[in-house]
A and B are shown apart, each in its own frame.
Chain A
Amino acid sequence: MIRWLLVGGLLAVFFLLFWFGWPSRRLPESRNHAPPPPSVVIYFPDLSADRLIIHRIVPRHRDPQERLKEAISLLSHPPAPLPDPAVPPGTKLLSAHVADGVLTLNLSKDFVTENFWVGSEVAHLRLQSLVYSVTSVTGARSVRILVEGESPGTIGGHLEVSVPLERDPSLSPPVSGLSP
C-alpha cells in the first residue's frame, strides 16, 4: 500500500512539473524576457503647494478608452494619501476620441458642479491635472472638453474651456509625492 502511495505521489509530482514547468528554469526566464508592466502617470493637484503631483499607475486595461475612464475615475476619487480630487466626484467619461493630436473628452454633467471650481488657482490646478493626466495617458497634444456632448464654454466663472486646452508650461514642475 505504501509502495503504491509513493508511486502515485511521484507520478503526481511529475505530472505537476510537466504541466507547470520546472520552476528553477521558468522564473529566471520570466525575469529576463517578460516586458515590464506598462505604467502611466496621473497628475493630481497639490492645492497646498500650488503644483501637480506625479502618481504612477499600472492601468488595468489595454483599451485606450477604458484607460481614460480609469484615469478620470481616479482623478475624481484620489487614492490615499492624495487629498484633492481633480474633477468633481461622480464625473464619468461618456466617450473620447483623438483627431489631429486633439483629444476630445465627453464628460458627464457632474463635471460642471459649480461649487467644485471655486477659487481661481484651485480651479486652474484641477483643470490642469486633468489636462496633464489625459495627455499623459493618450499622448494627445491638447484636450477639448465637452459635457453631455456640448462645450460648457467656461466653468467656475474663471476658466475657459471653449478651446482645446494644452499643458500650462508656467506651472511649477510636477513632483512625486505630497509637499511636507
Chain B
Amino acid sequence: MRSVALFALLVISPAWSVTPLPLSAQEPEPATLVVLDQVYEGVPALWTDPPWVAVGDWLKPLGLQWDSQRGLLVLSLPSGKSTDLPLPADSEKDKGKEGSSGPLVREVDGHPFVCLPRLCEVVSLRGVCSRNENLIRIGIPVLSAQVRSVTEGYLLEVQVRRPLNQSPKVRTLSDPNRAYIDLPGTLLTDDIALEETPAGPITRIRIGQFSQNPNIVRVVADCLTPVSSWLVGREREVGGTETWKMLIQEKERPSPWVGQVTLHASEPRRAWIVLPGAERFPPSIENRGKELIVALPATPLLPPVVAPLTDGPIASVHLTQRDEKPILIVSLRQPGWGVLQFDRERGFILIVEPLTGGRPGALLIVLDAGHGGKDPGATAHPKTVKNPLVEKVLTLDIALRLKSLLEKAGFQVVMTRSDDTYVPLADRVALANSLQADAFISIHINAHPRPGEKCGVEVYYWSPQSRVLAEALYSRLLTLGRGGNGVRVRQFYVVHHTTMPSALAENCYINHPEDAALLQQPSFRQKIARALFQGILDFFQIPETLERRRE
C-alpha cells in the first residue's frame, strides 16, 4: 500500500463529453476494481494522475450505466427515473479544466474511460488506489457512529454517506463481550465522527476496515456483560445520507422491542410486511375483513416505511395506539387476511392476501387424512358397532367428504392421500409447503387407553398464525354435540412444520361407545366434514350465504 492515495472530495467540474487523452497517456493495464461489495478483475485502467477506468459492468452497483449511443453516463434514481451525468449545471463549471476537476469521461483508443475522482464526487463515494497491487477500491464513506440509550436498551447508530446496497450484518461475540455491525460496501475515512461516550454495558465504540476486498467497515461496541443485538432499521436523511441502527440489550434484561416496520414487497395478490422483533415477544394479529389489527409488543423504534402502495392488497398502514398499547392497522383494498411468520434474520413477516370479495377460487386447501397404509392409527371394536373401526378408514372418508364440500364452494383442494396408502409425515408437510397452500387441515380420530373414558373433539395447532383457524374449526366441531376437550398448542409434526395456517382436528373417540356408534354412520361423518367446512369458511371470513347460494 505504498502509493495509496485518498481521493479528496472535489469541486464539481464541468466538461463531461468524451474528449481524447494526450498522446503521452499511458497504456491501459488490467486492474482489480472493488466497487462497494462487488469485485471486478481485469478492468482496463490508466494509472495517470488522476486514474481512469474503462466503463463496464462495475458501474452497475453504483446505479450507473454507459449509454453508448449518446456517449454519456446515466444514473438510475430511486424513483425509477434516470438522469444524465454530470448534471447540466455542473457541465459549464467543468469546461477547460483538467485532472480531478476536469471531464468525467474520455475516449482512449475508441473506448470510453471514466475519471475516478470525478465519478466518486458525483455519486458521493470515496476511492482508494494501490498502484503496487493494481487495486482500486470504491466505497461508501462512513460518517459517524454513536450510542444512544432508549427504553428497550441501547441504539448504536452508524451514518453512511449514501444508502447501502445491502443490509448490514449484526452479530454478538463473547470473551470479551461485544456486538458489531458490518457495513457492506463501505470505506473508512479519516474524518469519521466517533462518539465514545460509555452507555450501560457498552464501554467503548471501535471502528475499522474489516475487509478491503470486498469493502466492509466494522463498528464494534465493547460490552461489560453478555449482550444480544439486532438490526432495527435505517433512516434516510435529506442530504442523501443514511443512518443504520442496531439495538443492543443485556442478555439478562431482555425486553420487548419492535424495529422498523417495512413493506418488503407487494404483488397484486400478496404483500409482505417485515416487523423486526425478538421471537420471544411476538406480535398478534386480528383479521377483520378489510382491516388487519396487529398488536405490537412495543412501540417501533423507527417510523414505518411502507410506501409506495400503488398496487397489491394493502391500501395503507397506520401506526396508532389502542388501550395505550401500540397497534398497526393494515387497511386492505378488499377483504383479506394476514398471517405472521418468524424469520431469524428479519424478524416477523406479515403476509397479506386478499379474498377477492368472498371468492375462494384462489384459495388452496391441503387436506390430510391421518395415518394410512401400514399405519392404521387407532382401532377399536366396541359392542355398540357391528364391524371394527379403523382410524385410517374413517379419516379418509371424512377428508373425501370435506373435499367435495370445499370444491363445490370453489376452493382448490389437494389431498395428502386419496386412498389407503402410507404417506410419511414429512411428505405430507412438504406437499403443503411446496404448493404454498392457504391452509392445512389434518383429520384424525382420537383414542384413549381406557375405552369409554373420554369422548368429543379436540383441535391442535402450533404457530400463532394457526390459532384462529384451530378455534374456528373447534367452534364448529362443538356443534356435533359430543363435547370438547379444548384447543391446544402442541408440537405435532404436521402442524409444527407447515408454513401456512394449519390445524389437526381429533374428531371424536374411536373407542368411546357412543362416539363409535356415531362414527360408523355415514351421516355423522358427513356432519363432521360439514363442521370442518364451516370452520374453514369462518377462518377465511367467507360469508356462508355465498356458499348456500352455490348449493
Interface residues, chain A, with chain B CB atoms under 8 Å away:
47-48, 50, 83-84, 114-115, 118-122, 124, 153-154, 157-160, 168, 170
Which residue of the partner chain, among A47, A160, A168, contacts B450 with CB atoms under 8 Å? A47
Within 8 Å of chain A (Cβ to Cβ): is B492?
A: yes
**Interface contact A120-B446, CB-CB below 8 Å:** yes
Contact code string B470-494 (vs A, CB < 8 Å = 1, else 0): 0000000000000001001111110
Which residue of the partner chain, among A50, A120, A154, contacts B460 with CB atoms under 8 Å? A120
Given contacts A48-B450, A120-B492, A168-B491, 12 further A-B contacts (CB under 8 A): A83-B450, A119-B378, A119-B446, A120-B460, A121-B446, A121-B485, A121-B490, A153-B424, A153-B426, A157-B425, A160-B493, A168-B490
* Nearest 9 A/B pairs, CB to CB: A118-B378, A119-B447, A160-B493, A118-B447, A157-B371, A158-B492, A170-B489, A154-B425, A157-B375
CA of A114 to CA of B374, assembled, Å: 10
Interface residues of B in 437-483 (CB under 8 A from A): 444, 446-450, 453, 458, 460
Within 8 Å of chain A (Cβ to Cβ): is B506?
A: yes
CA of A50 to CA of B424, assembled, Å: 27
Contact code string B408-431 (vs A, CB < 8 Å = 1, else 0): 000000000000000011100000
The chain B residue sitting closest to A116, CB to CB, is B449
**Interface contact A120-B444, CB-CB below 8 Å:** yes
**Interface contact A47-B371, CB-CB below 8 Å:** no
Whole-angstrom distance from the CB of B395 to the nearest CB of chain A? 10
Interface residues, chain B, with chain A CB atoms under 8 Å away:
370-371, 375, 377-379, 391, 424-426, 444, 446-450, 453, 458, 460, 485, 488-493, 496-497, 504, 506, 509
The chain A residue sitting closest to B377, CB to CB, is A157
- Which A residues lie within 8 Å of B485 (CB)? 50, 121
The chain B residue sitting closest to A126, CB to CB, is B449
The chain B residue sitting closest to A169, CB to CB, is B489
Given contacts A153-B426, A157-B370, contact A122 B492 (CB under 8 A): no
**Interface contact B488-A160, CB-CB below 8 Å:** no
- Which A residues lie within 8 Å of B458 (CB)? 120-121
Whole-angstrom distance from the CB of A138 to the nearest CB of chain B? 21
**28 chain-A/chain-B pairs, Cβ below 8 angstroms:** A47-B449, A47-B450, A47-B453, A115-B379, A118-B377, A119-B449, A119-B506, A120-B444, A120-B446, A120-B460, A120-B504, A120-B506, A121-B458, A121-B488, A153-B424, A153-B425, A153-B426, A154-B424, A154-B493, A157-B377, A158-B444, A158-B492, A159-B492, A159-B493, A160-B493, A160-B497, A168-B490, A168-B491
- Which B residues lie within 8 Å of A47 (CB)? 448-450, 453
- Which B residues lie within 8 Å of A118 (CB)? 377-378, 391, 447
**Interface contact A160-B492, CB-CB below 8 Å:** yes
- Which B residues lie within 8 Å of A170 (CB)? 488-490
- Which B residues lie within 8 Å of A154 (CB)? 424-426, 493
**Interface contact A48-B453, CB-CB below 8 Å:** yes
- Which B residues lie within 8 Å of A50 (CB)? 485
- Which A residues lie within 8 Å of B370 (CB)? 157
CA of A115 to CA of B450, assembled, Å: 13
**Interface contact B491-A122, CB-CB below 8 Å:** no
CA of A160 to CA of B488, assembled, Å: 17
Which residue of the partner chain, among B424, B449, B488, B497, contacts A122 with CB atoms under 8 Å? B449
Which residue of the partner chain, among A83, A122, A124, A168, contacts B447 with CB atoms under 8 Å? A122
**Interface contact A158-B493, CB-CB below 8 Å:** yes
CA of A48 to CA of B455, assembled, Å: 12
**Interface contact A119-B448, CB-CB below 8 Å:** yes
Whole-angstrom distance from the CB of A105 to the nearest CB of chain B? 18
CA of A48 to CA of B449, assembled, Å: 10
CA of A47 to CA of B379, assembled, Å: 18
- Which A residues lie within 8 Å of B488 (CB)? 121, 170
- Which B residues lie within 8 Å of A115 (CB)? 378-379
CA of A83 to CA of B444, assembled, Å: 25
CA of A139 to CA of B379, assembled, Å: 38
CA of A114 to CA of B497, assembled, Å: 22
- Which A residues lie within 8 Å of B424 (CB)? 153-154
CA of A124 to CA of B426, assembled, Å: 18
CA of A160 to CA of B453, assembled, Å: 26
- Which B residues lie within 8 Å of A153 (CB)? 424-426
Whole-angstrom distance from the CB of A121 to the nearest CB of chain B? 6
CA of A168 to CA of B493, assembled, Å: 14
Whole-angstrom distance from the CB of B380 to the nearest CB of chain A? 9
The chain A residue sitting closest to B506, CB to CB, is A120
- Which B residues lie within 8 Å of A121 (CB)? 446, 458, 485, 488, 490, 506
Whole-angstrom distance from the CB of B139 to the nearest CB of chain A? 40
- Which B residues lie within 8 Å of A119 (CB)? 378, 446-449, 506, 509
CA of A83 to CA of B448, assembled, Å: 13
The chain B residue sitting closest to A121, CB to CB, is B458
- Which B residues lie within 8 Å of A168 (CB)? 490-491
- Which A residues lie within 8 Å of B491 (CB)? 160, 168
CA of A50 to CA of B449, assembled, Å: 13
CA of A115 to CA of B489, assembled, Å: 24
**Interface contact A84-B490, CB-CB below 8 Å:** no
- Which A residues lie within 8 Å of B450 (CB)? 47-48, 83
CA of A159 to CA of B377, assembled, Å: 13
Whole-angstrom distance from the CB of B506 to the nearest CB of chain A? 6
**Interface contact B493-A84, CB-CB below 8 Å:** no
Whole-angstrom distance from the CB of A113 to the nearest CB of chain B? 13
Whole-angstrom distance from the CB of A72 to the nearest CB of chain B? 19
**Interface contact B496-A160, CB-CB below 8 Å:** yes
- Which A residues lie within 8 Å of B504 (CB)? 120, 158
- Which B residues lie within 8 Å of A84 (CB)? 449
The chain A residue sitting closest to B374, CB to CB, is A114
CA of A168 to CA of B488, assembled, Å: 12
Whole-angstrom distance from the CB of A125 to the nearest CB of chain B? 10
